[in-house]
Structure 1
Amino acid sequence: MSNYSDLKWIENTEARNKQGKKAKVDFISRDVVSGVRAFHKSFPQYAATPLHDLSNLSKELNAANIWIKDESYRFGLNAFKVLGGSYAIGRYICDRTNMGLENLTYSNLVSEDTKTKLGDTVFITATDGNHGRGVAWAAREMGHRSVVFMPKGSAEMRLENIRKEGAEASITEYNYDDAVRLANEYALKNNGVMIQDTAWDGYEKIPRWIMQGYATIADEVEEQLRALGYGEPTHVFLQAGVGSFAASMLGYFAGKYGDDRFISAVLEPDKADCLYRSMVINDGKPHAVTGHMDTIMAGLACGEPNTIGWEILRDYADMFISCPDYVAARGMRILANPIKSDPRIISGESGAVGAGLISLIMQKPEYKELKDKLKLDKASRILIISTEGDTDIEGYRKVVWDGYYPQKLELKG
C-alpha cells in the first residue's frame, strides 16, 4: 500500500472560534473592492477572466462542482499579479497628487496634469516574475520607470518578459526575501517607490493596496457564480507565497459571509511553507523559512509571511497544507489534458497546485483522514484559482510534455 507521507497538513480549529478577536478585514470589504474593481475597469485592457465549470473532472473526482478561475487571461500578462501592482501604483499617484479616490481612473492617471504634478518617479520591486512584470507594465502604462530585482534561479523567460515591459531588471544571487531587502535598499538610496506585496513594520500601506487590488478576482468570482446560476462554493483552495493573495480572497469572503463561509485551505510548497510552519509553532506569530527555497512553484517560493496577510489567514483559514512539487506538476498535467468537453487550462506551477491536491484527496484512500477533516464529498462545490499560465514555457513543457516531477511513492508492507 502506498504512503504519501511528504504531504503535511494542520487543521486550524480556532478559525471559527475567535469571536471578536479576529484580524479586521474591512479594508477588503465588498464596498471597498467595488471601487477597486471600478479602477481596473477603467483600463482599456480590462476584461473579467473566465470562470470555468470542470463538469467532467467533477464527475471523475466524485464532487458536485469544480470551478476554476483562469488568470492567464489577465491584461494579456498571463498572471493575476498586475491587479495588485497597478492599483498600488494608482493609489500612490492619487495620494501624491491629491487626485481624490473618486477620480482614480486610468485616463486621469495618464493625463499631462497628473504627470506634471507627480514629476519623475521610479517604482521598485522584487519578484520571481509575475509581480515584477505587472509592476513594470503598470508603471509604463502610467508613464513611469521601474526597476525590478529577481531571486537566484529565476527563469530567463520571466526576466525577458519584465524587460519587454520597459523595466530595468536583473537576476540577483539572493533568495526571494533577500531580494526584497535589496530592492528596498535600492529604493531608499535612489528616492524610488517600493511596490511590494509583502508587509513589515513600517511598510504596510502599499501592501494593503496590493491586497485590495487582488480582491478584484473575488468580486468577479461572486458576480460570475451568480450570473451562471451556481450556488456558492462549499470549499475554496488558495495557494500562498507571502500570503497576500490568499488573505485577500479569504478576507473578502469572510467579511461578507462570516462563519457561514466556505471551508478554506491554504496551500504552500513544502520548501517554502512559512505559513504552515507558523501554524505548527502556534504562538500566534509569523515565522520564516530561510535558505534557498528550491521549488518549481517559483511564485510561492517566499520564506517570510506578509504580516497583514498572516493575521487574516491565521484567524480565518481552516486548513494549512504543505505540498511537494509533484502535487503542482500533477495539477498542471490534469488541467492540460481535460476530460471530454472540459476546457483545456494552461496553468503554471504556482497556479495548478490546487487542482493537483484536490485530485489526490478525492481519489486516493491514503488521504481519507484529510478528506474527512475538510468535509469533502459528492456534494462539494469546489473553487480553485489558476493564478498564472505558462509564464516559463520551458519549465511548463518539462512538466507537461516530459513528465518532470512525477509522484513519489513509498511502499509499505
Structure 2
Amino acid sequence: MKNLADLWRLLWPQAEPTPLLELPALASLTGVGRVFVKVEGERPLGSFKSLGGMTAGVRALAQASGIDDPRDLFSDARSLPRLICASEGNHGLAVAAAAHKAGTRAIVYLPAEVTEARAARIEAQGAEVMRVSGTYDDAVLAAEAAAERGDGLLISDTSSDPNSAVVNAVIEGYGLLAQELIAQFREPPRESPSHLFVQAGVGGLAAAMVEGLQSLLRAPARFIVVEPESAPCVAQALELGQLTRVDGQLHTSASMLACGVASAPALRILQRHAVSTMSVSEAELRMGRAGLRNVGGPSTTTSGAAGVAGLLRAAARPELRELHRLTSDSVVLLIASERDLSIVGRPADD
C-alpha cells in the first residue's frame, strides 16, 4: 500500500482531518493579519506522532514479514516480531498502537521523568515500558542496544544516519498533516499563510512541515523553528552544519521537546530550505500555552504551544518583527501538536 492516506484510513477508519481554527483574538494581540492553528490534540492517540510512529511501525512489520500490502497484517494470523522505540510519551504510544493493531507487542524505553499517565497510556496498548535513568537521548541509546540484541524491530523517530529508512518513514507519515493543511486552506478557499512557527524536538515535525508546505506558504514564506532555550538541538545543528549534543540537562516544561541531539534525516531536509530558528524561555513557553487558551484556542501543553510562544516572542520585539518580516498583513500558521492530558474528563485514548 503505497498511498499514506490509504494506510492511515486502514489504521483509523473513522478518523477525520484534524480541525484548522482561526484565532482573530491572537491575530489582534500579535499585530498580524490572521492566525490559524491546526489542532493535533484531536488526532487519534492525541498527537501528530500517531501519523509517524504508526506508519513506520506497520511498514516495518510488513517488510519483516515479506508482505507487500499492509492490509494482510490484519487479515491473517501470523507471528510478528516486537517493536522497540524510545520516547517521551507520544511516539511510544504510536508505536505501541501499531504493534497492538497488528497483533504483536512493543517495548518502549522512557526517561525516568516521563509521567505515569503517559506510561499508562502506552501500557494500555499492551506494550512493556522500560524506564531509563537520564534523558530522552539515553532512552534512544537503550532502545538501539535492545534492537541490536535482537529484542525486536527498532522504530525510532531519530537517527544519526540521514538515510534511515524507518526515521524517514516517520517523517513521511507526519507529511499527512501537511497534506491536510493544503486541502484545508484551499477548500474552502482561505488566504494562504505567510509564516509557520513550528516547534521542534529532534526536528521531525518541523522537517515534514517545511518540506510539505512549500507550495502553500506565500511570500515572504517564513519557516521559524521554535525550541526551548535549554534544548536547541535543531538550531545548533543547523548553525554548525552537523549533529552535536546540546550541553546541559535539557530541563524544560516542554518535555516533548527535551532532546539533546537532532535527527539527521530531519536536519538534511531542513538544510534544503530557508529556515529560521528561535529559542524561547520557560516563562515564554508557559505564556504560549496560557495565551493560546485565553484567545479561544485549544488546550495543549507547553510542548504543544511552543510555536505560539515563538509567535508571541517575535511579535513583541521590533527587531524580531523586522527579522522575520512579520507585519499587519501576515498570515500565521501554528500547530497545537498534542492534547493536554491533565484536563479532567477527556478520554485517555481514541
Instruction: Output the TM-score relative to the length of structure 2.
Output: 0.92
Please tell me the residue identity of whatever aligns with 1:211: I
Letter in structure 1 aligned against 2:15: Y
Shift of 1:278: 2.8
1:379-398 → structure 2 map (5 Å cutoff): 379-391=329-341
Q: CA deviation at 1:202?
A: 8.4
Q: 1:111 aligns with which of 59, 63, 75?
A: 75
Contact 1:49 / 1:73 at 8 angstroms: preserved in 2? yes
For residue 316 of structure 1, what is the aligned residue in structure 2? Answer: 273
* 2:116 maps to 1:156: yes
Give me the whole-angstrom Cα distance separating, in 1, the residues matched to 2:64 and 2:81: 11
Write the mapping of 1:131-142 to structure 2, written as runs, cut at 5 A: 131-142=91-102
User: What is aligned with 1:397?
Assistant: none
Does 1:229 pair with 2:189? Answer: yes
Q: Partners in 1 of 2:67 and 2:82 — Cα distance?
A: 19
Deviation at 1:348, TM superposition (A): 1.0
Residues 1:334 and 2:315 are matched in the alignment: no
In 2, the alpha carbon distance for the partners of 1:271 and 1:257 equals 31
Q: Is the Cα–Cα contact under 8 Å of residues 112 and 134 in structure 2 kept in the other structure?
A: yes
- Runs of at least 5 residues in structure 1 that lack an aligned partner in the other structure: 1-31, 395-413
How big is each residue's C-alpha offset from its partner over 1:61-87, in whole Å with a ceiling of 9 and x where there is no partner?
Answer: 221110000100111x22111110111
- AA aligned opposite 1:52: L
Counterpart among 87, 102, 126 of residue 166 in structure 1: 126
> Aligned equivalents of 2:217 and 2:41: distance in 1?
30
288, 295, 303: which one aligns with 2:245: 288
The percent identity for this pair of structures is 30
> Residue 357 in 1 paired to residue 322 in 2?
no
Q: Which amino acid aligns with 2:99?
A: A
1:65 aligns with 2:34: yes
CA displacement at 1:120 relative to structure 2: 3.0
Give the Cα–Cα distance (whole angstroms) in 2 for the partners of residues 259 and 346 of structure 1.
28
Structure 2 gaps of 5+ residues are 345-350
**What's the offset of the Cα at 1:356?**
2.2
CA distance in 1 between partners of 2:207 and 2:43 (Å): 20
What is the alpha-carbon distance in structure 2 between the residues aligned to residue 220 and residue 96 of structure 1?
Answer: 30
CA distances 1:172-209 after superposition (whole Å, capped 9, x unpaired): 21211111010111122133001111022387010000
Task: Give the Cα–Cα distance (whole angstroms) in 1 for the partners of residues 195 and 160 of structure 2.
Answer: 30
SS in 2 for 1:110: helix
Distance 1:279 1:50, change over 3 A: same
Distance in 1 (alpha carbons) for counterparts of 2:236 and 2:178: 27
**RCO comparison, higher one (Cα < 8 Å, 6+):** 1
Q: Distance in 2 between matches of 1:216 and 1:202?
A: 21
Paired residue for 1:272, among 231, 235, 257?
A: 231
The amino acid across from 1:278 in the alignment is: A
The correspondence for 1:179, drawn from 139, 147, 152, is 139
Instruction: Tell me the secondary structure at the aligned position of residue 159 of structure 1.
Output: helix
How far apart, in 2, do the equivalents of 1:272 and 1:202 lie?
Answer: 21
Residue 347 of structure 1: which of 284, 292, 300 is its match? 300
- Separation in 2, partners of 1:58, 1:84: 31
**CA separation of 1:45 and 1:86: change in aligned 2, threshold 3 A:** farther
The aligned residue for residue 254 of structure 2 is 297
C-alpha displacement of 1:260:
6.2
Q: Secondary structure at the match of 1:382?
A: strand
Tell me if 1:55 matches 2:19.
no
User: Is the Cα contact below 8 Å between 1:66 and 1:383 reproduced in 2?
Assistant: yes
| Alpha-carbon distance in 2 for matches of 1:121, 1:60 | 51
The residue number in structure 2 matching 1:216 is: 176
* Residues 180-199 of structure 1 mapped to structure 2, 5 A cutoff: 180-199=140-159
| CA distance in structure 1 between the aligned counterparts of 2:220 and 2:32, rounded to whole angstroms | 19
Distance 1:121 1:71, change over 3 A: same
Give 1:152 deviation, angstroms.
2.9
Counterpart code for 2:272:
D
Decide whether aligned partners of structure 1 residues 305 and 360 sit closer, same or farther in structure 2, where only a CA change above 3 A counts: closer
- Correspondence 1:378 to 2:346: no
The change in CA–CA distance for 1:207 and 1:392 in structure 2 (over 3 A counts) is: farther
Secondary structure at the counterpart of residue 375 of structure 1 = coil
Q: Distance in 2 between matches of 1:40 and 1:66?
A: 28
- Which amino acid is 1:276 matched to? A
Per-residue CA distance 1:222-244 (angstroms, 9 max, x = gap)? 10111131122100111111111
TM-score, length-scaled by structure 1: 0.78
Kindly tell me: are residues 299 and 306 of structure 1, through their superposed partners in 2, closer, same or farther at Cα, counting changes over 3 Å?
same
Counterparts in 2 of 1:260 and 1:337: CA distance versus 1, 3 Å: closer
- Cα distance, 1:393 vs structure 2: 5.5
Residue 290 (structure 1) shift = 4.1
Equivalents in 2 of 1:289, 1:36: separation in Å?
A: 34
- Contact 2:193–2:218 (CA under 8 A) maintained in structure 1: no
